[in-house]
Protein backbone atom coordinates (compact mmCIF):
# COMPACT_ATOMS: atom_id res chain seq x y z
CA UNK A 1 0.00 0.00 0.00
CA UNK A 2 1.14 3.55 -0.72
CA UNK A 3 2.59 5.55 2.17
CA UNK A 4 1.43 8.87 0.75
CA UNK A 5 -2.09 10.33 0.82
CA UNK A 6 -1.42 12.25 -2.41
CA UNK A 7 -0.91 8.99 -4.34
CA UNK A 8 -4.37 7.68 -3.56
CA UNK A 9 -6.89 7.73 -6.42
CA UNK A 10 -9.69 10.31 -6.17
CA UNK A 11 -12.85 8.96 -4.60
CA UNK A 12 -16.14 9.82 -6.33
CA UNK A 13 -18.37 10.18 -3.28
CA UNK A 14 -21.39 11.11 -5.39
CA UNK A 15 -21.12 7.75 -7.14
CA UNK A 16 -20.60 5.96 -3.81
CA UNK A 17 -23.74 7.62 -2.42
CA UNK A 18 -25.83 6.29 -5.32
CA UNK A 19 -24.28 2.82 -4.98
CA UNK A 20 -24.92 2.73 -1.23
CA UNK A 21 -28.56 3.75 -1.77
CA UNK A 22 -28.95 0.79 -4.10
CA UNK A 23 -27.12 -1.58 -1.74
CA UNK A 24 -29.21 -0.80 1.34
CA UNK A 25 -32.44 -2.39 0.15
CA UNK A 26 -33.51 -3.72 3.57
CA UNK A 27 -34.12 -1.71 6.74
CA UNK A 28 -32.40 -4.31 8.94
CA UNK A 29 -29.70 -2.69 11.09
CA UNK A 30 -27.42 -5.73 11.29
CA UNK A 31 -27.51 -6.25 7.53
CA UNK A 32 -27.03 -2.55 6.79
CA UNK A 33 -24.10 -2.05 9.20
CA UNK A 34 -22.33 -5.12 7.79
CA UNK A 35 -22.98 -4.10 4.17
CA UNK A 36 -21.96 -0.47 4.75
CA UNK A 37 -18.59 -1.17 6.35
CA UNK A 38 -17.78 -3.79 3.70
CA UNK A 39 -18.80 -1.32 0.97
CA UNK A 40 -16.63 1.46 2.41
CA UNK A 41 -13.65 -0.89 2.73
CA UNK A 42 -14.01 -1.93 -0.93
CA UNK A 43 -14.66 1.59 -2.24
CA UNK A 44 -12.46 3.96 -0.23
CA UNK A 45 -8.72 3.34 -0.65
CA UNK A 46 -6.15 3.57 2.12
CA UNK A 47 -8.10 2.16 5.08
CA UNK A 48 -7.01 -0.54 7.51
CA UNK A 49 -10.18 -0.60 9.63
CA UNK A 50 -13.80 0.38 9.02
CA UNK A 51 -16.64 -0.42 11.36
CA UNK A 52 -19.41 0.50 13.72
CA UNK A 53 -19.55 0.96 17.45
CA UNK A 54 -23.09 0.85 18.84
CA UNK A 55 -24.56 2.70 21.82
CA UNK A 56 -26.15 -0.39 23.34
CA UNK A 57 -25.30 0.30 27.00
CA UNK A 58 -25.39 3.62 28.86
CA UNK A 59 -22.35 5.80 28.07
CA UNK A 60 -20.66 2.79 26.42
CA UNK A 61 -19.79 1.88 22.84
CA UNK A 62 -20.12 -1.79 21.90
CA UNK A 63 -18.21 -3.16 18.92
CA UNK A 64 -20.48 -3.88 15.96
CA UNK A 65 -19.86 -5.14 12.41
CA UNK A 66 -16.47 -4.14 11.04
CA UNK A 67 -13.72 -4.95 8.54
CA UNK A 68 -10.15 -5.17 9.77
CA UNK A 69 -8.31 -6.60 12.74
CA UNK A 70 -10.19 -7.61 15.90
CA UNK A 71 -10.73 -4.38 17.83
CA UNK A 72 -11.11 -2.89 21.30
CA UNK A 73 -14.39 -3.52 23.10
CA UNK A 74 -16.13 -1.98 24.95
CA UNK A 75 -15.15 1.72 24.72
CA UNK A 76 -16.55 4.01 27.43
CA UNK A 77 -17.68 7.50 26.40
CA UNK A 78 -14.81 8.85 28.54
CA UNK A 79 -12.07 7.33 26.36
CA UNK A 80 -10.43 7.70 22.98
CA UNK A 81 -11.38 9.41 19.76
CA UNK A 82 -14.57 7.33 19.64
CA UNK A 83 -15.52 8.43 23.16
CA UNK A 84 -14.98 12.07 22.16
CA UNK A 85 -17.27 11.63 19.14
CA UNK A 86 -19.94 10.01 21.31
CA UNK A 87 -19.74 12.73 24.00
CA UNK A 88 -19.72 15.68 21.62
CA UNK A 89 -21.79 14.15 18.79
CA UNK A 90 -19.42 15.94 16.44
CA UNK A 91 -17.26 14.24 13.79
CA UNK A 92 -13.70 13.72 14.98
CA UNK A 93 -10.94 13.88 12.36
CA UNK A 94 -7.45 13.10 13.57
CA UNK A 95 -4.48 13.60 11.21
CA UNK A 96 -1.97 11.97 13.57
CA UNK A 97 -3.34 9.56 16.15
CA UNK A 98 0.04 9.51 17.93
CA UNK A 99 -0.55 13.14 18.87
CA UNK A 100 -3.81 12.33 20.68
CA UNK A 101 -3.05 11.41 24.26
CA UNK A 102 -6.00 9.11 24.89
CA UNK A 103 -6.19 7.59 21.42
CA UNK A 104 -6.97 3.87 21.79
CA UNK A 105 -4.62 1.91 19.54
CA UNK A 106 -6.51 -1.19 18.40
CA UNK A 107 -4.29 -1.68 15.35
CA UNK A 108 -0.74 -0.38 15.66
CA UNK A 109 -0.74 0.40 11.92
CA UNK A 110 -3.34 3.17 12.29
CA UNK A 111 -2.01 6.71 11.77
CA UNK A 112 -5.13 8.79 11.08
CA UNK A 113 -8.78 8.40 11.95
CA UNK A 114 -12.27 9.67 11.10
CA UNK A 115 -15.15 9.05 13.52
CA UNK A 116 -18.71 10.04 12.61
CA UNK A 117 -21.43 9.92 15.28
CA UNK A 118 -24.79 8.50 14.20
CA UNK A 119 -27.69 10.28 15.80
CA UNK A 120 -31.28 11.14 15.07
CA UNK A 121 -33.16 13.60 17.23
CA UNK A 122 -31.54 13.46 20.65
CA UNK A 123 -30.71 9.76 20.38
CA UNK A 124 -27.11 8.65 19.73
CA UNK A 125 -27.25 5.25 18.00
CA UNK A 126 -23.52 4.68 17.65
CA UNK A 127 -20.74 5.76 15.33
CA UNK A 128 -18.73 4.86 12.27
CA UNK A 129 -14.97 4.62 12.80
CA UNK A 130 -12.48 4.65 9.91
CA UNK A 131 -8.75 4.13 10.42
CA UNK A 132 -5.91 4.60 7.94
CA UNK A 133 -2.24 3.65 8.04
CA UNK A 134 -1.53 6.93 6.17
CA UNK A 135 -1.03 10.16 8.14
CA UNK A 136 -3.73 12.76 7.39
CA UNK A 137 -5.63 10.32 5.15
CA UNK A 138 -8.94 12.21 5.51
CA UNK A 139 -9.46 15.70 4.08
CA UNK A 140 -12.56 17.95 3.96
CA UNK A 141 -13.93 16.14 0.90
CA UNK A 142 -13.53 12.73 2.54
CA UNK A 143 -15.25 13.95 5.69
CA UNK A 144 -18.17 15.47 3.76
CA UNK A 145 -18.40 12.40 1.49
CA UNK A 146 -18.44 9.87 4.34
CA UNK A 147 -20.87 12.03 6.35
CA UNK A 148 -23.20 11.97 3.32
CA UNK A 149 -22.92 8.16 3.22
CA UNK A 150 -23.86 8.02 6.90
CA UNK A 151 -26.89 10.21 6.25
CA UNK A 152 -28.04 7.63 3.68
CA UNK A 153 -27.32 4.81 6.15
CA UNK A 154 -29.45 6.52 8.83
CA UNK A 155 -32.32 7.20 6.40
CA UNK A 156 -32.33 3.62 5.11
CA UNK A 157 -31.99 1.77 8.45
CA UNK A 158 -34.42 0.87 11.19
CA UNK A 159 -32.12 2.21 13.90
CA UNK A 160 -34.24 0.88 16.74
CA UNK A 161 -33.03 -2.63 15.83
CA UNK A 162 -29.36 -1.70 16.29
N1 LIG B 1 -8.89 4.39 17.87
C2 LIG B 1 -10.20 4.41 18.46
C3 LIG B 1 -10.60 3.06 18.98
C4 LIG B 1 -11.29 2.19 18.01
S5 LIG B 1 -10.28 1.46 16.91
O6 LIG B 1 -9.52 2.42 16.13
C7 LIG B 1 -11.06 0.37 15.93
C8 LIG B 1 -10.26 5.46 19.57
O9 LIG B 1 -9.27 6.04 19.96
O10 LIG B 1 -11.36 5.68 20.07
Domain-embedded: residue 6: no
Q: Do the domain assignments include residue 124? A: yes
Specify the number of domains making up the chain: 1
Mean pLDDT of 54-67: 97
3-state secondary structure of 79: coil
40, 110, 113, best to mutate for ligand 1 pocket (most atoms within 8 Å of CB): 113
- Percent of the chain whose pLDDT exceeds 70: 99
| Residue 4 resides in a domain | no
CA 156 / ligand 1 centre spacing (Å): 26
Which residues form the pocket of ligand 1, taking CB atoms under 6 Å from any ligand atom? 49, 71-72, 75, 80-82, 103-104, 106, 110, 113, 129, 131
Each residue of 9-41: pLDDT tens digit?
999 999 999 999 999 999 999 999 999 999 999
CA 51–ligand 1 middle distance (angstroms) = 10
Residue 108 lies in a domain: yes
The pairs formed by 66-72 with CB atoms below 8 angstroms and a separation of 24 or more are 66/37, 66/129, 67/37, 67/38, 67/40, 67/41, 68/41, 68/107, 68/131, 69/106, 69/107, 70/106, 71/106, 71/107, 72/104, 72/106
Could you report the per-residue pLDDT of 97-133, keeping only the tens digit for each?
A: 999 988 999 889 999 999 999 999 999 999 999 999 9
To test the pocket of ligand 1, the residue of 106, 109, 115 to mutate (highest count of ligand atoms within 8 Å of its CB) is: 106
- Within a domain: 44: yes
Instruction: Determine the pLDDT at residue 1.
Output: 62
Residue 96 lies in a domain: yes
3-state secondary structure (DSSP) of residue 26: coil
What is the pTM for the complete model shown?
0.97
Does residue 3 form part of some domain? no
* Domain assignment of residue 2, yes or no: no
Query: Where in the sequence is the domain holding 128, given as residue range(s)?
Result: 11-161
CA 85 to ligand 1: nearest atom: 10
pLDDT given at position 2? 66
The CATH number for 102's domain is 3.30.450.40
Amino acid sequence: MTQNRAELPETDYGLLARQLEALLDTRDALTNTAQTCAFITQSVPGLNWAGFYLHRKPETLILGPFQGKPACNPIPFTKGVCGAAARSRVTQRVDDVHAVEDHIACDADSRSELVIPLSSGDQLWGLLDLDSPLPARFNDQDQAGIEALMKIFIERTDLATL
